[in-house]
Amino acid sequence: MPQLNSAPAARNDDASRAETLLLAIVNIGQLATFRGSGRLRTGAELREPALVRDAALVCEGSRILFTGPAAEMPSVPREAEVIDADGRAVLPGFVDAHTHLVFAGDRLDEFERRVRGESYEQITAAGGGIRSTVRATRTASEEELLELARGRFQRALRGGTTAFEVKSGYGLSIEDEMKMLRVVRRLREETGARISGTFLGPHAVPPEWDGRADEYLALVVEEMLPAVAREGLAEHADIFCERGAFSPAQARRYFAAAQKLGFRLRAHVDQLTESGGAILAAETGCTTADHLEQTGAEGIAALAAARVQPVLLPASVYALGRTRYPDARAMIAAGLAPVLATDFNPGSSPTLAMPMVLSLAATQMRMEPWECLTAATVNAAHSLGWGSELGVLEAGRRADFAIHDVRDPRELAYWFGSDTALATVIGGRVAWRRERW
Ligand code: NIG
Ligand code: FE
């Protein structure tokens, strides 16, 4: 049986927080550990949560020391913080593997126009859309963007999210893209959360390069990518491959350059129109292919053959008032390891609530509740290279998890429209806790 150290020791992953924290969650009704094969999950494994009833969870510093039946819990010293979950469910923290968390302004006027009948593409063609957020983001200082990002980070904790992927893509100049990615780095440093940066310079053609997408892409490839790589500001490179944004040929050029510089690749593909994006993602060695609303059987087969993870973003379909969701059932049948994420951004998906995403995945894409939960935790962690430390609650893993106001974890995909977390723990520290339970 594991023993707890009662003497404070230095945390090895965060020297500035000198004391080892001891945190115990007791009286857990259902604990979904997702303990298992240690790799990303496909097929029937998507429905195997490795559930423990009447459970406890103990953390030492930023790591998990024990998860299992309450009867086997090690004794904790008096200075340990103990939270009584009162029969609630505990789950790994959600890993939101596709967000545009850093931006200024909003797109409320465009939202109203869409409600009145204009389409997302029409608004983009009229100079709005991504370009409108680019204008606001360029004007904002790094400090202002960081303050906005902090508030959003706090909000996401209420849904039980503990780790993020955050894209640039609203700067579209070297200075402004770097500014966004520095905000991502500062947010990671000050929160201690796992936050991964993605460069998305080819998100749109900026106004000063209007009609010269190839020239803008040359700037991206020759100057922006190397500058981002030099400063180590992003691990991944992403592109918006879509009519009116960048073509498959341009995406190939970009990915070849990004790969040479050591970036791992993610791609916005087949969102509004089918442009062979899934096949492109498979052929270029992408880690993930994101969106895929329009992807058919051929694209799904290509993703499966190349073991690309599909990142499904149903909240963006919903918020754009569209009706065609990605074919998750066909993807699962093909042996793919799906990921669910918010796509949080001011245009197509103004939400940070992972529970809402799970609900949409269940009702609109027929993903079973456990499939949804696996996609949002274990599989999402793997898509960002965090598979060995996040997404699974067992000894030695990082202590990122949430206590939710439900008895059965499947309820997260059932009740919808409200944040469900009672307490969210990041690296063994309570990052957010609801005032009264
Ligand atoms: O993932 N599709 C491109 N990018 C975002 C939307 C960004 C925006 O509208 O500001 C997306 O949906
Ligand atoms: Fe996106």
pLDDT bin (cut points 50, 70, 90) of residue 19 is low
- 305-359 pLDDT tens trace: 999 999 999 999 999 999 999 999 999 999 999 999 999 999 999 999 999 999 9
| Mean pLDDT computed over 30-46 | 94
Tell the residue nearest (CA) to atom 12 of ligand 1: 348
Delimiting residues of CATH 2.30.40.10 domain(s) in the chain: 14-93+389-433
Ligand 1 atom closest to the CA of 120, numbered from 1: 9
What average pLDDT does the chain have?
A: 95
Ion ligand 2: residues, CB within 5 A, are 343
Q: What is the pLDDT of residues 193-220, one digit of tens each?
A: 999 999 999 999 999 999 999 999 999 9
Average pLDDT of the segment spanning 416-430 = 96
Domain 14-93+389-433 - what CATH class? mainly beta
Ligand number, closest to the Cα atom of 169: 1
Q: Is the shortest distance between the CB of 130 and ligand 1 below 6 Å?
A: yes
- Ligand 2 centroid to Cα of residue 342, in Å, is 9
Q: What crossing angle do the helices spanning 142-157 and 174-191 adopt, rounded to 10°?
A: 40
Q: Is the CB of 277 under 6 A from ligand 1?
A: no
For residue 170, give the 3-state DSSP assignment: coil
Q: Is 347 in the pocket of ligand 1 (CB under 6 A)?
A: yes
Tell me which of 4-8, 147-151, 266-270, 406-410 is least confident. 4-8
* Residue keyed to tokens 């968390």: 101
Q: Which two tokens stand for residue 307?
A: 């073991």
The per-residue pLDDT for 298 is 98
- Is the dihedral angle over the CA atoms 352, 355, 356, 358 positive or is it negative? positive
Query: What is the spatial distance between Cα 200 and Cα 206, in angstroms, rounded to a whole number?
Result: 13
What are the Cα distances from residue 58, in Å, to 200, 232, 351? Answer: 39, 34, 31
**From the CA of 135, which ligand is nearest?**
1
User: Whole-angstrom Cα distance, residue 323 to residue 326?
Assistant: 10
Reply yes or no on whether the pLDDT at 17 is more than 50.
no
User: Which one, of 192, 12, 185, 14, lies nearest residue 101 by Cα?
Assistant: 185
Question: Closest ligand 1 atom to the C-alpha of 240?
Answer: 3
Neighbours of 100 (CB within 10 A): 25
Q: What is the CATH number of domain 95-383?
A: 3.20.20.140
CA distance 288 to 267: 7
- Quote the DSSP letter at residue 220: I
Report the nearest atom of ligand 1 relative to the CA of 242. Answer: 2
Q: What's the one-letter identity of residue 42? A: T
Distance CA 61, CA 18 (A): 10
The per-residue pLDDT for 37 is 79
Q: Is the pLDDT of residue 9 over 70?
A: no
User: Which whole number is the average pLDDT over 130-135?
Assistant: 98
Closest CA to 381 of 288, 258, 280: 288
Residue ranges, comma separated, of all CATH 3.20.20.140 domains in the chain are 95-383
Identify the DSSP state of 131: H
Q: Which ligand is nearest to the CA of 293?
A: 1
Q: What is the per-residue pLDDT for 94?
A: 98
| Res. 40: pLDDT tops 80 | yes
pLDDT (tens digit, 9 = 90+) per residue, 69-100?
A: 999 999 999 999 999 999 999 999 999 999 99
How confident is the model over 235-252, as a mean pLDDT?
A: 97
Please provide the DSSP assignment of 323-389 as one string. -----HHHHHHTT---EE---BBTTTB----HHHHHHHHHHHH---HHHHHHHHTHHHHHHTT-TTT
Indicate which residue's Cα is closest to atom 9 of ligand 1: 347
| % of the chain exceeding 90 in pLDDT | 93
Cα–ligand 2 centroid distance for 349 (angstroms): 8
What's the pLDDT band for 3 if we cut at 50, 70, 90?
very low
